[in-house]
Structure 1
Amino acid sequence: MELIQNTPDLSAYLAADEVVDHHHPRVRETAARLAEGAVDSYAYARAAYEFVRDTIPHSQDSGDPRVTWRASDVLEKRTGICYAKAHALAALLRAEDIPTGFAYQRLTDDGGGHVVHGLVAVRFHGSWHRQDPRGNKPGVDARFSLDGERLAFVADPQSNELDYPVLYSEPHPAVRGALEAASDRPHLWKTLPTAL
């Protein structure tokens, strides 16, 4: 899928902010630990992806009611939904100077409506490659790949699902707003964005 950058300046996809706080000691420590065994930026990106995918449970899968949204909090509390896990992965990648943006899908939810799903895209070899650190479970087998997408979910146009083509340098305001306003995950589930 061809992604359209929302800003032509790649430095925006390396920036730190309140959400992607890659200057935070927790993020820096985690990045340094992951970088120790990596021979190059590709190996580091794969290690960071697998760390977030496999060691930070998706809060819906684990039943954790806490809502996290800041990357350092996701890493500290070891919980988050797809958006939060994308924020943590983006921080770890940007900490090692790997341009990373936010991508979104509109997917069918359990009630027959739609919900926005969050993931990231990394820039390697002059192209953006979407990666989904949501976390695997029965029926979901996402993998880090630069040779064709291995996402958690494939959008089905027959179900009015879609891949949003815009790549954001910061989390979408609707996503950030829902996360910040939620008192717990059950509350968040009622206020998740249904479209962007």
Structure 2
Amino acid sequence: MQLSHTQLSIVTTLDYAVPHPELGPVDCLLQVEAAMIPEQSVLQARIDLPPVDHFARVAAQAQIGERIWLRTSGPLQVRYEATVSIERMLAEIDTLPAVPPHLLPGETVDYLMPSRYCTSDTFHEFVEQEFGPLQGGARVGAIRDFIARTLTYEAGSSDAFTTAADTFQSRKGVCRDYAHLMIALVRASAIPARFASVYGLGVEPQDFHAVAEVFLDGAWHMVDATGMTSPDRIAKIGVGRDAADVSFLSSFGKVELLSQSVQVTELVPA
């Protein structure tokens, strides 16, 4: 293994309208900040929000990152700026052994199960036919290469209801679809896999990015089947079973996205 050393500058802006303020305040759950975890250090950060009726920070899934509860009746404009140092151990995925299911830590077991977008139970026959002789990281690498080879990255080709099964049939999608299919096929191989919302250097067009994380050799490892970025150039925001667990904004009431911008650049130390 080797240790990565990369510094990223992140600037994110979101602009939402509340189209029906006469109906009362809207509750929103925001998750856009880079997580403060051992594999990355947040050297400086600032988040600007408008006046709101309520503000509270709560732990995010798997205790990775934080979510912010907001209750607002007016426009919601968010600006987040951060400098993040990536110090992540990097491994050759293809060489790593799988952990037998009966020896998996309890906190990984949820990521073996089918979820809303990652219908892994529909892929058991396919993964055995396509990747049968391969085990552990070798199978994960083959799944990554299969997705990269057979899918076309196409903006607007999917929506908030597209599942891994839909993507498998259409053979096109965006980063979240690549991640969902990767997760579903890995779970169907009895290897825990989860969805990671990230900021990635090199992602085009620049936006929030999604990758898979797989549990091999006793640790989580990132895999980006789109090939646009790599673990040494990624700042993790949060994780979940699939995209439903780690949306950058979930609203419990009507809001309208007017604009959003994400800029990720590399900082070269003086």
**Which one of 127, 145, 151 corresponds to residue 50 of structure 1?**
145
Larger gyration radius, structure 1 or structure 2: 2
Q: Does 1:131 align with 2:223?
A: yes
Deviation at 1:120, TM superposition (A): 0.8
- What is the alpha-carbon distance in structure 2 between the residues aligned to residue 192 and residue 36 of structure 1? 43
Q: Name segments (4+ residues, structure 1) moved above 3 Å.
A: 1-5, 107-111, 190-195
Deviation at 1:41, TM superposition (A): 2.0
Deviation at 1:15, TM superposition (A): 1.1
Residue equivalent to 2:169: 76
- What is the alpha-carbon distance in structure 2 between the residues aligned to residue 106 and residue 81 of structure 1? 15
Residue 174 of structure 1 aligns with an amino acid whose one-letter code is S
- What is the alpha-carbon distance in structure 2 between the residues aligned to residue 19 and residue 175 of structure 1? 17
From the two aligned structures, give the one with the greater strand fraction: 2
Q: Does 1:154 align with 2:236?
A: no
Q: Does 1:30 align with 2:89?
A: no
Q: How well do the aligned residues superpose, as a CA RMSD in angstroms?
A: 3.5
| Structure 1 residues 49 and 176: CA distance shift in structure 2, 3 A | farther
Q: TM-score, normalised by structure 1?
A: 0.65
- Contiguous gaps of at least 5 residues in structure 2: 1-37, 41-59, 64-105, 251-256, 264-270
SS where residue 115 of structure 1 aligns? coil
From the two aligned structures, give the one with the greater helix fraction: 1
- What is the alpha-carbon distance in structure 2 between the residues aligned to residue 193 and residue 127 of structure 1? 32
Residue 66 of structure 1 aligns with an amino acid whose one-letter code is S
Q: TM-score, normalised by structure 2?
A: 0.49
Q: Name the structure, 1 or 2, with higher relative contact order (CA <8 Å, separation 6+).
A: 2
- Contiguous gaps of at least 5 residues in structure 1: 143-149, 156-162, 178-187
Across the two proteins, how many residue pairs are aligned to each other? 156
Identity %: 20
Q: Does 1:20 align with 2:118?
A: yes
Q: Deviations over 1:144-175 (max 9, x none)?
A: xxxxxx45x824xxxxxxx1253323323527
- What is the alpha-carbon distance in structure 1 between the residues aligned to residue 249 and residue 188 of structure 2? 21
Contact kept in structure 2, 1:105 and 1:117, CA below 8 Å: yes
